Amino acid sequence: MAAAGAAPLLPGLLPAATARAADSGRPDFLLVGEGAAVEVFVDAVDDPAVIRAAGDLRADIERVGGVRPGLLHELPAKADRLVLVGTIGSSPVIDRLVAAGRLDVSGVRGRWEASVTQVVERPVPGVRRALVIAGSDRRGTVYGVYDTSERIGVSPWYWWADVPVERRDTVTVPADTVKRREPSVRYRGIFINDEQNLTTWSHRTQETDKNIGPETYKRVFELLLRLKANYLWPAMHPYSDFFNKHRENPELADRYGIVVGSSHPEALLRNGVHEWEPWAAEHPNPDGTAPVYDYTVNPAVISDYWRARARQNAAYESSWTLGMRGLHDSALETKYATTIPEKVVVMNDIIADQRRTLTEEVGAAAEPQIFIPYKEVLDLYNAGVRVPEDVTLIWPDDNHGNMRQLPNDAERARPGGNGIYYHLSYWGRPKSYLWLDTTQLAKVWQELRRVYEHGADRMWIFNVGDLKSIETGLSFSMDMAWDVDRWDADDVEDFLAEWAGRQFGRLHRREIAAIRTEYYRLAAELRPEFIARGILSVIHHGDEAGRRLGAYDRLLGRVRAVGAELPEAYRDAFYELVEYPVHGAYLMNLKYYWADRNGLAVTQGRGAGTNRFADLAEAAHTQEAALTRRYNTEVAGGKWDGIVNPYPSQIPKAPGRPSVTRVAQRETSGLGVAAEGNETGAARPLSFSSWTRDRRFVDVFNTGFLALDWTAEPGAPWLRLSSAGGSLTEQTRVWVEVDWARAPEGTLDTTVTFTGAGRSAEVPVRVVNDGARALRRARGFVEANGFVSIDAAHFAQRVARGGARWRVVRGLGRRRGAMEAVPSTAAAVTEEFAERAPELGYRVRFASTGTFPVTVFRLPSLDERGHRRVAVALDDQPATVLTGQSVATGNRGDAWARQVEDGVEKLTAHVTVTEAGDHMLRIFMVDAAIAVDQIVVDTGGLPVSYLAPPESYHPVFNPEPAYEPGLDVPRQ
């Protein structure tokens, strides 16, 4: 396998966020050789989490070398080699090495979760050589252990994604000293949420008598530690067993070293979905009725309810959520507090009550304590809720990856610090995305970088839904949480390449990274979970929906090419991590594309072709179902039974099988023609420009079911047609192009005439040929076909001002990269933009004059205590400030909902072009951390479409514009 480039991790390859000393020149440390494995020592007095992790190291060495090491709790009298695992301050052997100056713990001792791995010669009497893994605390040691596992080739995803472990007869690690420094973020973890699929799978395959129990959590805890996470909000929905139902769960978490907390509606580790009703039944009101979960009605009963859990879990390392919301993620209920100020008073009383409870039942160990101003609670917080200074504020996003607000100077100075609750998966308004990992990593990077710059570094918790589809996004988020500076705006794809290399080997890592980047880009245009009828145009810009499906089709071809070259052992992991997401997203889009074509065919009066599109839509849905069935029943021998379901019953607004229409067969025939840009007929001419070298289509179709003969005749010798005629039962797409070498200069009008079944139809053609000399003179973007379309990263000039600047974030947005105004903490600029504001300039050649709308496609971001603004100007004209949505409303159909569904917010200003020729279109930062993806100027010919038009001609960035081929109707 290694020779084929498939070895996921060659010996000595370092995991993320470690410091490595210069090559020592000493021989590698041998873990397995000649059929024997080195023994592993860990002191019996060390923490149980460390002893347990040492057992995993033994198992990992066996996975690689085929021999299981022995586990020792007493030092051997004599050994050639030994692995010494221990925690500084808890392992006498480690402490003696430190005291003797034999173990370099500088930058490690006294730090949070840090570790050093070092080869020490003659560490103790009788031992010639030892690989010493020492941590600053129990989790530091555990992470050092798992770093060693990664270095010998065991992926953190070996079980959860079936990444194979390459077997070797000889297993070594380099003798270099490796230090894992203190993490950027103290608490790093996940929220298992909306976990219907995970519950189904767990019940079927792990514990048939439970709905997510200790056997499943063992796997979850191990994965978290291998990813260098330390924190969990457990599953909490009605279809799952609540975490404390099985007392083994908190005991296991503590034994693994996992800090367990609870989500925003689960105060003091109480699961309201399952636990409140039984408690209320056991503590009835004096009149026998059950108390309601309303602190203004039943404060004593609710307080006792919280107290019981605090007492029960006092011995475990826990995180305590303060405050209150309604049962099962609903809004706070306060019968006797109806106004915002009244509710603020109630919340203050709740927090004070909870703090007393924790002091009395848990004591000094009751930390961290957190307050999560989620949804309506954020309004209360901003209205005056008093959160004690030592409590960590956990700032939520809008459920779609956009932070709602971030700490101000006073909040950053609080000793409790700040953290975030961030969604990589979501159930709810306006639409859900739980099926696939579809949030661009560059988007995650942008927001996490922003929150870190604002001082939110105490706790990062990521909503991962069912966990199983989010492998790549979770890996990246944990990488960022440990070392936020490791990846920059230019190299998020480098993370993907490194990560792919760890799973599938170095040979294909760059191609897999490129595949994932394009997969994320297509999802940024429109998440597959958000697809619906009529979103994408099938008539404009060369069939924008068809071109998008063409991109998916080509991407799937690349996936299959890589998959065909991987050894068989890697096929399951590749299917789970690469093939299924790409193929599934493609098919979800494909069935809606054919359904849209079916609907248009009905409008156009097509005959047999209407039914053909209906068949294609149904076939794509069937293929998608088969793809998922393979995941659940065949991959890894059926290990993942029930883990994947695009349509779990609880998801609102999930796309399903699109409706289609069929027409009754009629024994007739008739010629129909629909030209690009027209739903029916050809009233809008086919437009061609010598700048963009366009390719336009005409759909020729049969209005009946009997075959007909047809012909197409261009009105000029310099028009080229992909087909000049033939026999037609359903439909065909004819592509029209201009032979620019033969076409005269100037504005030319002609036609293409289609004839068949006793009728003729003329399609008008408008050609603007500015000639080769004009092409050579162009210096910037050129107006053509009534618009200018610009990718924001393709600027002519970039000017930094006032300590702020615009930077390119590659892999962000609908194109290849977007422009972001940084630093995110920069002060807003509200006047004198040309002198004070960071600027982007785009040179544009206008052929038209007049006042035109300019639309800036900005990527969503929020600031509920501020603004989201950018300014636009042409040349030296006054700038227009555009104000974007800054508040997450939680409503369907409003500006916020549209921007999170579309992934962009379109902000429009107007500029006046008084003279044709070259001009400078200028974009100014008003508020920091705003990101611009595309800019479109409508000079009178821009058709309505979901995506921006293809980028305009530019002599450097787009010298040979060409439509990528779209998807055509498969031949029968």
Q: Looking at residue 12, what is its pLDDT?
A: 38
The mean of the pLDDT values for the chain is 95
Q: Does the pLDDT at position 537 exceed 70? A: yes
User: Are 9 and 153 a contacting pair, CB within 8 Å?
Assistant: yes
Q: Does the pLDDT at position 108 exceed 70? A: yes
pLDDT band at 652 (very low <50, low <70, confident <90, very high): low
pLDDT band at 892 (very low <50, low <70, confident <90, very high): confident
Q: Write out 384-397 in H/E/C secondary structure.
A: CCCCCCCCEEEEEE
Instruction: Classify strands 746-756 and 708-714 as parallel, antiparallel or unpaired.
Output: antiparallel
Q: Does the pLDDT at position 10 exceed 90? A: no
Rounded Cα gap, residues 362 and 359, in angstroms: 6
For residues 223-234, average pLDDT: 98
Q: Looking at residue 972, what is its pLDDT?
A: 52
Q: Looking at residue 485, what is its pLDDT?
A: 97
Q: Looking at residue 19, what is its pLDDT?
A: 62
Q: Looking at residue 329, what is its pLDDT?
A: 83
Q: Looking at residue 18, what is its pLDDT?
A: 60
Best CA proximity match to 18, nearest among 138, 198, 140, 195: 140
Convert the pLDDT of each residue in 574-595 to its tens digit. Answer: 999 999 999 999 999 999 999 9
pLDDT band at 967 (very low <50, low <70, confident <90, very high): confident
Q: Does the pLDDT at position 13 exceed 50? A: no
DSSP string for 463-524: EEETSTT-HHHHHHHHHHHH-TTSS-TT-HHHHHHHHHHHHH-GGGHHHHHHHHHHHHHHHH
Q: Does the pLDDT at position 261 exceed 50? A: yes
Rounded Cα gap, residues 143 and 135, in angstroms: 8
Convert the pLDDT of each residue in 895-916 to its tens digit. Answer: 999 999 999 999 999 999 999 9
Q: Does the pLDDT at position 44 exceed 70? A: yes
For residues 614-625, average pLDDT: 98
For residues 705-730, average pLDDT: 98
pLDDT band at 6 (very low <50, low <70, confident <90, very high): very low
Q: Does the pLDDT at position 220 exceed 80? A: yes
How many CA atoms lie within 13 Å of 855's alpha carbon, on the beta-carbon side? Answer: 16
Percent of the chain at pLDDT > 70 equals: 97
Q: ∠ CA 430-434-440 to the nearest 5 degrees? A: 85
**Beta bridge partner(s), residue 727:** 709
For residues 25-54, average pLDDT: 97
Q: Looking at residue 11, what is its pLDDT?
A: 38
Task: Give the contacts of 772 (CB within 8 A, at least 6 positions apart).
Answer: none
Best CA proximity match to 230, nearest among 255, 192, 260, 250: 260
pLDDT band at 653 (very low <50, low <70, confident <90, very high): low
The structure tokens listed for 360 are 């009395």
Q: Looking at residue 655, what is its pLDDT?
A: 82
pLDDT band at 17 (very low <50, low <70, confident <90, very high): very low
For residues 739-743, average pLDDT: 96
- 3-class state of residue 369 by DSSP: strand
Rounded Cα gap, residues 50 and 84, in angstroms: 12
Q: Looking at residue 971, what is its pLDDT?
A: 66
- What does residue 671 show for φ and ψ, rounded to 5 degrees? -90, 130
Rounded Cα gap, residues 811 and 492, in angstroms: 7
Tell how far CA 695 is from the center of its chain: 34
Tell how far CA 139 is from the center of its chain: 27
Q: Does the pLDDT at position 16 exceed 50? A: no
For residues 677-701, average pLDDT: 97
Q: Looking at residue 656, what is its pLDDT?
A: 85
Q: ∠ CA 415-418-423 to the nearest 5 degrees? A: 165
Q: Does the pLDDT at position 164 exceed 70? A: yes
pLDDT band at 293 (very low <50, low <70, confident <90, very high): very high
For residues 29-50, average pLDDT: 97
Q: Does the pLDDT at position 24 exceed 90? A: no
Convert the pLDDT of each residue in 787-825 to its tens digit. Answer: 999 999 999 999 999 999 999 999 999 999 999 999 999
Q: Does the pLDDT at position 102 exceed 60? A: yes
Q: Looking at residue 970, what is its pLDDT?
A: 78
For residues 303-318, average pLDDT: 98
